[in-house]
Structure 1
Amino acid sequence: MLELRRLSKSYASGQPVLSELSYTFRAGEFVAIMGDSGVGKSTLLNLIAGLDHPDPAAEAPILVDGIAMAALDDAAATRLRRERMGFIFQAFHVLPHLTLLQNVALPLLLNGLPQDRAATMLAAVGLAGRDHAYPHQLSGGEMQRVAIARALVHRPALVLADEPTGNLDPDTAAAVLQLLRTEIRASGACTIMVTHSQAAAAMADRTLILTRAGLQEADTVKTLRQ
């Protein structure tokens, strides 16, 4: 579903962040990525989404459903992102001037799809009957539920979550993660979640550790450190 081929990224100063990173993520799996601060976890998500550009070394360093992101112009990359990806952010990014229903329906509207699924998704995340409420009326956990509904409403093939529980208390975080796991199971989306939380990572099918040496299975990293 998602393939990384010798993906590299350096800062403007020339300092490398990611170096020849290769990995394949399968459709339908929920993967957590952990690692030290500054190792490039959020940068990796931005590269996958096409919001940032890799170093021009490998010919096709990122493939989404077999499509090389590097071969797309800005319009085509935006269209692929809009149609095939869903995003969940730590800061929610719920639009304050839109109702909950309008927030969730936005990906459907942008993709020219029927918008009736928006109400269904709000109900699925426990917000039935709140269609006409506004984000300022919600708790942090409720806003993250809206963000999950919005990320999944258009049935994306790939969901990218960047510290989705970083602003939530432990009980709310656990509930949101259980909801996320349930919803991505139902949709069959490949989900990549960057997190610092061991509890969040435990909800995923498997955990990878991003180091300067690349992506490694968490158990392998533990073995090397013993």
Structure 2
Amino acid sequence: MLELRDLAKTYNGRPVLNRLSHQFKAGEFVAIMGESGVGKSTLLNLIAGLDAPDSGDIVIDGQPMSALDDNAATSLRRTRMGFIFQAFHVLPHLTLEQNVALPLLLNGQSQERAGAMLAAVGLGGRGGDFPRQLSGGEMQRVAIARALVHRPALVLADEPTGNLDPETADSILALLRDEVKASGASAIMVTHSHAAAAQADKTLILTRSGLHFVQDVR
């Protein structure tokens, strides 16, 4: 489903990723851990097409990202991917339901599922509220609902439970896993939490020398 081919990325003369190669299987929920600054968030941004590698390529369903023009890359992100940002990126001028429905709107799909997804993350009945009325943990839940609402083939999650209490984190991870498995999607989650990583099918450690398999959890 997803293949990394010799990815390299440098910031301010410092190599962050160096000839990184790995294959992710369809339907797999993978956690990526590693020390701060090793390039975990950078890797997610490269996969999402939000940043470009200095060299190497990312291949999704046999399609090299480097072969796509801007419009095709945007269409791929919009229809095939869901991204849970560490900083939420919830739009302040839209209601919660409008925020969650945005991927559906952009893809020309029915927006009815937005309310159901808000209920699934524990915010049912609050679709008319605005982000300013939410706590950080609640905004994270909105971001998760928005990432899953259009049933993407690939979910990229950057510290999705970082602003949640343990009980809510467990329920959100269960939702993420259930949605991914029900739709046959793949998910890649960057996390510092061993409890969160334990919910994944597989844990990988990112180091300067690449991605290293740690364990099969399930």
Whether these two folds match at TM > 0.5 is yes
| 1:174 aligned onto 2:180 | no
Alignment-mate amino acid for residue 128 of structure 1: G
Alignment-mate amino acid for residue 15 of structure 2: P
Give the SS at the match of 1:218: strand
Counting only pairs closer than 5 Å after superposition, residues 114-125 of structure 1 correspond to structure 2 as 114-125=110-121
- Residues 6-49 of structure 1 show CA distances to partners (whole Å, capped at 9, x for unaligned) of 11112242x22111111111111110000111111111011101
Counting only pairs closer than 5 Å after superposition, residues 126-145 of structure 1 correspond to structure 2 as 126-145=122-141
Alignment correspondent of 2:58: 62
| 1:156 aligned onto 2:152 | yes
| 1:191 aligned onto 2:187 | yes
Counting only pairs closer than 5 Å after superposition, residues 15-164 of structure 1 correspond to structure 2 as 15-56=14-55, 58=56, 61-164=57-160
Alignment-mate amino acid for residue 77 of structure 1: A
Give the SS at the match of 2:164: coil
Residue 6 of structure 1 contacts residue 19 of structure 1 at CA under 8 Å; is this kept in 2? Answer: yes
1-structure distance, mates of 2:135, 2:16: 35
1-structure distance, mates of 2:204, 2:111: 36
2-structure distance, mates of 1:130, 1:97: 15
TM-score (norm 1): 0.89
Alignment-mate amino acid for residue 37 of structure 1: S
Residue 83 of structure 2 contacts residue 156 of structure 2 at CA under 8 Å; is this kept in 1? Answer: yes
- Residues 64-115 of structure 1 show CA distances to partners (whole Å, capped at 9, x for unaligned) of 1111111112222111111110011222221121111101110011111121
Residue 35 of structure 1 contacts residue 41 of structure 1 at CA under 8 Å; is this kept in 2? Answer: yes
Residue 86 of structure 1 contacts residue 151 of structure 1 at CA under 8 Å; is this kept in 2? Answer: yes
Residue 153 of structure 2 contacts residue 185 of structure 2 at CA under 8 Å; is this kept in 1? Answer: yes
Note the C-alpha offset of 1:155: 1.2
1-structure distance, mates of 2:215, 2:198: 13
Alignment-mate amino acid for residue 188 of structure 2: I
TM-score (norm 2): 0.92
* Change beyond 3 A, Cα 1:219–1:202: closer
Q: Which runs of 5+ in 2 are unaligned?
A: none
Give the SS at the match of 1:104: helix
Alignment-mate amino acid for residue 38 of structure 2: V
Note the C-alpha offset of 1:134: 1.6
Alignment-mate amino acid for residue 128 of structure 2: H
- Residues 150-176 of structure 1 show CA distances to partners (whole Å, capped at 9, x for unaligned) of 101111110000111222233332332
Aligned-residue sequence identity (percent) comes to: 75
Note the C-alpha offset of 1:215: 0.5
Q: Which runs of 5+ in 1 are unaligned?
A: 221-226
2-structure distance, mates of 1:219, 1:95: 37
Note the C-alpha offset of 1:219: 4.6
Residue 162 of structure 1 contacts residue 194 of structure 1 at CA under 8 Å; is this kept in 2? Answer: yes
Superposition RMSD on alpha carbons, in Å?
1.7
Alignment correspondent of 1:224: none
> What is the total number of aligned residue pairs between the two structures?
216
